[in-house]
Chains A and B, each alone.
Chain A
Amino acid sequence: MSESGILSYGAYLPRRRLQRQSVFAANRWFAPGLRSLAKGERSVANWDEDAITMAVEASRACLGDLDRANIDAVTLASVTLPFVDRLNAGVVKEALNLRDDVTAGDAGGGMRAGTTALRIALEGSQRCLCIGADLRKSRPASESELLQGDGAASILVGEGAPIAKLVDSYSVTVDFVDHFRATGEQFDYRWESRWVRDQGHMNILADAIGVLLKKAEAAPDQIEHVVFPVAAGGVAKAIAKKIGIRKENVVDHFGAQIGDIGVGHPLLMLTHALERAKPGERILLAGFGQGADVLLFEVTDAIIDYKPHLSLDAQIENRVADENYMRFLSHRGLVKLDRGVRAELDQKQPGTTLFRKRSAVLGLMGSRCSKTGTVQFPKSEISVDPNSRAIGTQEDYPLADRTARIVSFTADALSYSPDPPTFYGTLDIDGGGRLATEFADVTADDVEVGRPMRFVFRIKAEDEQRHFIKYFWKAVPENGGRV
């Protein structure tokens, strides 16, 4: 019999990890008090990533080769979405090649938007992809700059063979303003962390957890995995102690390796718990922000056969230590470097052409000739096959999840790039087809003729006059982050 619950999960972390010591070294003259935070590293999105692209990558990790045709809904929860008025989840839907008749929505409004979206989805009847993703932005020399990270997590819920079922859930809403950011502003304004700890985490959050556990008749010391999206390790342990949860069952917050990735963070920690959970174990998931969401799951036997398509551990390990604080500031728009005249190319994107080509541009949809089997990108009226000239025989053929091999490449130091040199080249796609595109997250050591690559959804360019972002697919080394 079909049951409802969590069907799959995935996360995405950018490869670069900014060294907090590098940030502190640049800022210590001004903010020597940051010394205590100058340990470990945080994930930083590349210049061509944002909440949408990271949401797509987390969802690809979540979906793997699952049939996407039966996904009914997608919710993208974030407080740093690139568009205020253009459905961000709609871009994700196109990139994932989901059906046109899906329900799609953006969710935001605070740090528990991800857990709220997950709770709503679990209590609904649709097969829904719940994504939390943020590209965090904070003032230079702030605590947030050191504590935050970039990343995304994606949870597929619905009917099927769930790996975890929802036992019970509870939410409370209180206008507790620990931090805020007005519409149109770039940075958060934060209130004293001691107050947030005492009245926020220790009261509002802990009380909500207590209510749920009582409602579910669950003994706190019997909960094997507890997700508190609270950066300060001591606070998480204090909450656990107050409620009676074993402190060793509190899931790692990954402050040392990643930082707090925002709305996606509780979902990211949930993926970590699911990677380790055994049948019958319970997972408590909490989200905090102007109140709290608390969800209690029970892991099923299906977890035994479940293999994550791309594990969080592998992504944590697939890292490049980054000591370049200036590059981070530049990519976040916090330092305006002289980009030269070549950067002045107008990137205007007509809505008409994007709509016509959305499947190729956003979904990397190629085509396959039904007569000759020739695969090509993009689709065209007449087949590229020189021996065929077949007209109107091309059927959709998705290419995004295929691997490919480098045919040619260069590292271009002349073209404008936010992260020069620009690597690009031509790739032959395994199974047919060819794509000339940019490479992302590579160094000179990563590229050679014949090297295997895979495709990722990235920002191609930004129209800075009209503030539109153009997305396309780029190639990264095939083994990067793969399990």
Chain B
Amino acid sequence: MVRGVKDKVAIVGMGCTRFGERWEDDAESLMVEAFDEAVADAEVDVTQIDAAWLGVGFDTQNTGPSGIPLATALRLPNVGVSKVENYCATGTDSFRGAVYAVAAGAADIALAMGVEKLKDTGYGGLPVRSRGLNFDMLGVTGSAPGNFAQIAAPYRAKHGVSHGDLKRAMAHVSVKSHANGAKNPKAHLRREIDIDTVLDAPIVAEPLGLYDCCGVSDGAACAIVTTPEIACELGKTSPVLVKSIQLSTSNGWELQHGGGWDGAYFHTTRIAATKAYAEAGVSDPRSEVDLIEVHDCFSITELVTMEDLFISKEGQAWKDILDGFYDSDGQVPCQIDGGLKCFGHPIGASGLRMIYENYLQLQGRAGERQRADAPRLALSHNLGGAPIQNVSAITIVGL
């Protein structure tokens, strides 16, 4: 049995920029902005950082393929910096590197940074890019919404859900996230919308309309982690502790094994969730997890993820959603900060942004959107790739 990272690592400082179309900023200034907040929060000096991880999803749009841009932007004291890239799970994977270093005793204080400067492409949506020479010969060069939209039809077929019912549940996901985002001063999209706006929007990739898709944003988020003992020495008497981090990576089974995966769920998320709950000691997530931040790149992703995290029963998430179970005042609020949908989705930063929100909520520091019932255990789920081949990352933090 692996020993895991439960309670071995404390988060002592976090920072997150305002997400959005940051026309005046580049990756450097975004990283500095996030770091300034985190380092003030942690009350540590930059010279105390022993190692750092830099998560960036799109090289060509940003910083280039190394850890140098982070070391340079923050003038780190020549410590080791690794660049992490794992599609949209990049932010969590950057956090994982820092947490592992501290848990292993290799670093006393480590930094995880995620940043993305997307709004230099000249168009909306994610940059179009190659996924390798072999893929380019025989893979589908579809868009992100096109890839994720494909869960809908198998889900409908498997669970006997009508096109209209699923569309309404998906729309509820977006309406809820817009309501939450409106209360978040750092969110990219801060406008409440009604369900008809979602249902009547132009189709991007059937059945996803414009409002089923998350914002594409610039932004950065970071975490400073250390041991619980050092956290205590720094004056953090009740620090937020890492309860588990699990990644699960597709090995080609979904993509290649005929008759296997049915297309209606995320195989990796179920594996990562099972392991994460075991590592954190969670036996009934529906009653034990107080709030969740999931990878709602598209409304259908959030919907299916509620089942893959074993919070909704299989085939029932759409009903839970319509019942308000995941609303900000529901039993398990999901995307209380607006999520990728409205907080925004700067790829490399997103996983750390989710942890940032959970970190604030656990400490009662989330302002107008603070959950009133003193949450103690929070989960974030960060997903990269496409339903058929992806990296799924789950982090559970708690007091």
Contacts and interface: CB of A to CB of B under 8 A. Distances in A.
A, B from the same assembly? yes
Interface of A: 340-342, 344-347, 349-350, 353-354, 357, 360-361, 374-378, 380, 384-386, 407-416, 421-422, 424-426, 428-429, 432-434, 436-438, 444, 448-450, 460-461, 470, 472
Contacts of B128: 342, 344-345, 415-416
B123 A412 contact: no
Contacts of A377: 256
A434 B260 CA distance: 9
Interface stretch (B51-59, B149-157, B327-335): B149-157
18 contacts: A342-B125, A342-B128, A345-B130, A346-B130, A349-B136, A361-B138, A380-B256, A384-B251, A410-B147, A411-B205, A412-B143, A412-B145, A413-B203, A415-B143, A426-B388, A434-B255, A434-B258, A436-B140
Shortest 8 CB-CB contacts between residues of A and residues of B: A412-B146, A408-B263, A410-B149, A408-B150, A414-B143, A449-B157, A434-B258, A411-B206
A353 to B, nearest CB: 5
A426 B122 CA distance: 31
B146 A424 contact: yes
A386 B253 contact: yes
Contact of A353 (B134, B149, B263): B134
A306 to B, nearest CB: 34
Contacts of A416: 128
Majority secondary structure of chain A interface residues (helix, strand, loop or mixed): mixed
Q: What band does the interface of chain B fall in when counting residues whose beta carbon is under 8 Å from A?
A: 35 or more
Nearest to A430: B258
A464 to B, nearest CB: 15
B3 interface: no
Given A353-B133, A384-B257, A434-B256, A413 B138 contact: no
A353 B140 contact: no
B150 to A, nearest CB: 4
A414 B257 contact: no
B141 interface: yes
B259 interface: yes
A394 to B, nearest CB: 12
B262 interface: yes
B133 A407 contact: no
A449 B153 contact: yes
Nearest to A358: B137
B206 A444 contact: yes
B121 interface: yes
Which of B257, B262, B263 has most A Cβ within 10 Å? B257
B205 A449 contact: no
Given A341-B122, A342-B123, A426-B263, A410 B206 contact: yes
A438 B260 CA distance: 20
Contacts of B151: 408
A384 B258 CA distance: 10
Given A386-B253, A434-B258, A410 B205 contact: yes
Contacts of A376: 256-258
B372 to A, nearest CB: 40
Contacts of B281: none
B263 A407 contact: yes
Interface string B381-399: 0000001100000000000
Interface of B: 121-123, 125, 128-130, 133-134, 136-143, 145-147, 149-154, 156-157, 202-206, 251-253, 255-260, 262-263, 387-388
Contacts of A385: 257
A414 B259 contact: no
A463 to B, nearest CB: 10
Given A340-B123, A414-B125, A450 B157 contact: yes
A434 B257 CA distance: 6
A377 B255 CA distance: 9
Given A341-B122, A414-B146, A470 B137 contact: yes
Contacts of A461: 141
Contacts of B262: 407
A377 B260 CA distance: 14
Contacts of A410: 142, 146-147, 149-150, 152-153, 205-206
B263 A386 contact: no
A428 B129 CA distance: 27
B258 A432 contact: yes
B153 A361 contact: no
Contact of A472 (B122, B138, B260): B138
Contacts of A472: 137-138
Contacts of A436: 139-140, 255, 388
Which of B146, B154, B388 has most A Cβ within 10 Å? B146
A353 B150 contact: no
Contacts of B388: 408, 426, 436
Contacts of A408: 150-151, 153-154, 263, 387-388
A342 B124 CA distance: 10
A384 B250 CA distance: 11
A30 to B, nearest CB: 36
Contact of A414 (B134, B145, B260): B145
A428 to B, nearest CB: 5
Contacts of A437: 138, 140
A425 B150 CA distance: 7
Contacts of A426: 150, 255, 263, 388
B142 A374 contact: no
Contacts of B150: 408-410, 425-426
B205 A414 contact: yes
A292 B141 CA distance: 47
Contacts of B123: 340-342
Given A375-B258, A408-B263, A412-B204, 10 more contacts: A346-B130, A410-B150, A412-B142, A425-B150, A426-B255, A428-B258, A432-B259, A434-B258, A444-B206, A449-B153
Contacts of B139: 436
A357 B138 contact: yes
Contact of A413 (B133, B156, B204): B204
Contacts of B257: 374, 376, 384-386, 434
A288 B134 CA distance: 44
A346 B123 CA distance: 17
B143 A384 contact: no
A421 to B, nearest CB: 7
A413 B258 contact: no
Which of B150, B203, B256, B388 has most A Cβ within 10 Å? B256
A384 B151 CA distance: 22
A409 B134 contact: no
A409 B205 contact: no
A415 B134 contact: no
A398 to B, nearest CB: 15
Nearest to A432: B258
Nearest to B147: A410
A375 B258 CA distance: 8
